[in-house]
Every structure is written in structure tokens, then in C-alpha cells.
Amino acid sequence: MAASALAGTPENPLRVAIVGAGPAGFYAADHLLKQEDVVVSVDMFDRLLSPYGLVRHGVAPDHLKIKTVTKGFSQTAMHPRFRFFGNVDFGRDLTIDDLKGLYHQAVFCTGAQTDRRMGIPGEDLEGSHPATSFVAWYNGHPDYRDCRFDLSQESVAIVGVGNVAIDVARILCLSPEELRATDMPDYAVKALSKSRVRDVYLLGRRGPAQAAFTNPELKELGELADADVDIPHSEAELDPLSREELEASGDRMLARKVEMIREYASRAPGGKPRRLHLRFLVSPAELQDTGQGRVGGLRLVHNVLVRTASGALSAEATGESETIPAGLVFRSVGYRGVSLAGVPFNERWGVIANAGGRVLDAESELPVVGEYAAGWIKRGPSGVIGTNKPDALETVTAMLEDARAGLTWQPSSASPEAVTSLFADRCVDFTTFQDWCAIDAIELAEGERCGRPRVKCGSRDEMWRALGRVDGRAAR
């Protein structure tokens, strides 16, 4: 191809579609728009009316500082060559073939939308839920508003000690005052304020030195107004292998974490109304039925750590077991991406098949022209929000390299209007970034009125009403 035909000039910008408006999508957009070598115009699509993905619907509602990352994202959204299209469902409203006709490249940033199962008896009893459903519910995700969680139960078990598990445990322990200081929708604040939960169990398969939570998260657990932390002494002490590993690593943050856990284990109960039991070296073996089809308890097996051939520490059951009461169980043992129609998927790792962000053909393992991935749908659910920045940079570097080499789709109608005409033909009512700014202002104003940081709209209808519009699809 002649160099003059390459897209990436002011007259013929490289047109890029980003599917998914979470952190990875925004970091990718930022990298694409900030570099000056190739002129890029970005259209970002999300199936929700609002942008920001897990920052809005995943980050804990009492961690408002973490959400300030959206200030940078909104600056990216103000770029003259950036457009946001909310309420556009990839696969239904917009297909991979549509993208090929409209854009030079597409980058998929759809995250890890489903949870892994525990694979133990009783997992589907009433009262057993994926932790992500609860997180989405209390964070006002419109698809989860109608979920019901029986908060009249006194004992709750959370399987896992990653950051989702920790968030769920903390949210269940917040006092009504602490709940009001969050940006949860009203329905969640009301339900959680009336909760009768007294004992919350957090269950870790391995020991204190292997727990994925961070030191600030652990510190917060020890400072809750309404809950005492309880850790069995025997489980807070490191086993010889973990001690050896900790010493070999010289990791001071990890040493601090282990020390904090020991300190919690030595605390006397403070007489607070709730107890948060942090347990280590236990795995759920079975959810027990009350006799009415709902969960009443959890049988745990005890583990010891063994060193694998590669030097990692792995949990192995000892044969000892115990039962804890649990009327509500949340599993948080890992997440997977969901495959997208027409995009190669790697079932083993639960991600889009890719190498360094370039989508790979399932058969040949060779890069598929025009298609890229970034964020959790590329590498699986690991890291913090900021990890998506270097991750997206790797993908964008590959995209620009390919664009310079002319390895892009050859769209038949690459004008910015082509996609809006397509939506008009298909009666897709999309939201723009300006629409989102209006919703944002309304939520903040409602928060101010109620003495809260923000009150989220809890449904699609509420958002459309806030915009003075109706969803054409719903109205038809």
C-alpha cells in the first residue's frame, strides 16, 4: 500500500473503535490521542448509559478517593477527536462486521464480567451468590437493581480474600453513618442500614503471607466503627515455609501485613455489634442445606501449605474440617472474561486470544488484522486500576506500529457520521458524554441535597428520565 493512503493524517485520521468504557478503554483512548505521530479519532462504546465501568460499578462506594481517577478520564473525553456512545450493546446494536466497515481498528476493553464457580456441593442453594452480584447491586449497576440478598441473616461467609472479598466484608460491616458517607444508591443504603448481619467470615485458602489484600485494605478492617476483627491466633502465625519465603523476599510491605494480622489476632474484643472473622488456611468443601433449599452453614476443610516444584506455596487439605454457620454466602474466587461475538476467545484463560494486545486467530495463532484487546479481557483480572495504563500502552504501541505498516481494516465508510446514521437506522438511542455530564451533575446535586457525596441513579429508566428522554427501544 502507498504511504499516502495510510490513515493517520488530519484529513484521514486513523479511526479507532473502543468497546468498553472502563479504565482500560480510557487509558487506551488517552494513549491514542496524546501521541502526535498518527492522527487518531476515537469512538468509545459501552452497553451502559454511563462511562467508567468498574470505577463506577466495582470500586467500593466508600473508597471515593480511588474514584477520582475519573477526572483524568473525563479530560480524555473532552478531546475534540473523542466521542462516547452509551447504551450500545456490542453484538446486538453493533457487530464486528459493522466495525470493519466503519473503522480502521477496534480495541476491546470489556473486562472480566463473570465469576468463577467453587465447584462444591450446595453452591446453588438459595442464599449463595457470586460476590460480584452483590457488589454490582450496592454500586447501582442497572442490571442488578432487582437482585435480592437476605440481609436478615446473622451470619455471612465470603469465600476468598482478594480485594472484592474484602470490600464485601467491609460494606456488610458499615454503620448507617458510614453507609451514608458512600455514593451508593438509596435502595442499597436503606437495605444495608436495616441489615441484621452480626458475624462476617472471610475465608482464605492459604495463609496471611499469601492473602491478596493490600495493607491499607487490611488497616481499614481494623478501624471499622461497628465491627471487631477476630483472627484465630493459630492462623495468624506464619508456617515455616511462608516465614522462609518472607525472609527470602525481603518484602517490607508483606512483613508489615503479617505483623498487622498478628496484632489483630491479639486484640481483645471491643464489644462492637458486629464481628469480622478473618480465617486462613481453610477451603469450603460444602454448603449445607437448612432443609428448605437454602444455605445454613459451610463445611470448611483445613489446609497446610506445601512447596510446589516451581517454588510456589500451594494449599493442601489436612483432612480436618469444621462447620461454620452461614445464612448467606458470597463467592469471590476469581473472574473470567465473556467472549464477544466474532472475536477469537481463549477459553483456558477466559480472555480474548491475544499476544501483547494483538488479537490472535484461534487456529493459526497469527494476529488478526484490526483487532486488539486491553485490560482484563486481555490479561485476566489482575492488578489495580493503574495497571491498565501500562497494559493499554502496550496495546496502543502495537496498534500504531500496525497502522504505520498499513495493517488495518479498510473501512468502506470511515466518516464520523456513518456510525450515527447506522444507529439512526437501527433506532439505537445512545447517550453522549454530554448526556453523562448531565446525569453526573444531577447525581452530585442529589447528594448535596441529602448530605451525601453522590446519590447514584439506580436504573436505566431513572437515567433516561434525568435526561428528559425515554429509551426508544423500551418505548417501542
Partner 1 sequence: MKLSAVLAAKGNRVFTIGPGSSIRDAIDTLAGNNIGALVVLGRAGEPVGLLSERDIIRAMASSPGAIQQTVADLMTSPVLTAAPDDDADSVLRTMTGRRFRHMPVVEGDSLVGMVTIGDLVKAQLTEFRGTVESLETRLLES
Contact set with partner 1 (CB under 8 A): 65-66, 68-69, 71-72, 210, 245, 248-249, 308-314, 346, 348-351, 353-357, 360, 365, 378-380, 382-391, 394
* Nearest partner of 230 among 279, 195, 197, judged by Cα: 279
Residue 378 sits at the vertex; the CA angle it makes with 332 and 314, to the nearest 5 degrees, is 45
CB of 254 to partner 1, least distance (A): 10
Q: Are 367 and 203 in contact (CB under 8 A)?
A: no
191 three-class SS: helix
Nearer to partner 1, 257 or 389 (CB): 389
Q: Are 192 and 464 in contact (CB under 8 A)?
A: no
Q: What is the closest distance, in whole angstroms, from the C-beta atom of residue 389 to partner 1 in the complex?
A: 5
* 282 three-class SS: strand
- Dihedral of CA 174/175/181/185: which sign? positive
Query: Can you say whether the dihedral through the CA atoms of 96, 469, 471, 377 is positive or negative?
Result: positive
Give the largest CA-CA distance in the chain: 76
**Can you tell me which residue has the cell 446494536?**
93
CB of 383 to partner 1, least distance (A): 5
Residue in the structure block whose three cell numbers are 487490611: 218
Closest CA to 331 of 117, 122, 81: 117
Using CA atoms, how far apart are residues 202 and 161, in angstroms rounded to an integer?
7
Q: How far is the CB of 380 from partner 1 (least distance, A)?
A: 4
Q: Give the type of residue at 39.
A: V
* Cβ at position 245, least distance to partner 1 in Å: 7
- Per-residue DSSP letter, 24: H
Residue whose C-alpha cell is 485494605: 217
Q: How far is the CB of 221 from partner 1 (least distance, A)?
A: 20
Question: Which of residues 2 and 248 has its CB atom nearest to partner 1 in the complex?
Answer: 248
Q: Which is nearer to partner 1, 122 or 381 (CB)?
A: 381
Buried residues in 397-410 as b, exposed as e (16+ CB within 10 A): ebbbebbeeebbbe
**Rounded least distance, CB 331 to partner 1, Å:** 17
Q: Cα(187)–Cα(195) distance, rounded to whole angstroms?
A: 13
Minimum gap (Å) between residue 31 Cβ and partner 1: 13
We find the least distance from the C-beta atom of residue 444 to partner 1, in angstroms, to be 16
Nearer to partner 1, 1 or 253 (CB): 253
**Shortest distance, CB of residue 453 to partner 1, whole angstroms?**
14
Q: Nearest approach, Cβ of 384 to partner 1 (angstroms)?
A: 5
Query: In 3-state terms, what secondary structure has residue 318?
Result: strand
- Looking at the Cβ atoms of 265 and 313, the one nearer to partner 1 is 313
For residues 113 and 314, which CB has a smaller minimum distance to partner 1 in the complex?
A: 314
Q: Select 65 or 449, whichever has its Cβ closest to partner 1.
A: 65
- Specify the pairing of strand 358-360 against strand 105-108: unpaired
d(CA 178, CA 196): 16
**Distance between CA 46 and CA 85 in Å, rounded?**
7
Q: How many CB atoms lie within 10 A of CB 136?
A: 19
Query: Of 46 and 391, which CB lies nearer to partner 1 in the complex structure?
Result: 391
- Contact predicate 457/443, CB 8 Å: yes
Nearer Cβ to partner 1, position 222 or 383? Answer: 383
Q: Closer CB to partner 1, residue 243 or residue 473?
A: 243
State which residue, 393 or 438, has the beta carbon closest to partner 1: 393
Q: How many whole angstroms separate alpha carbon 127 and alpha carbon 327? A: 6
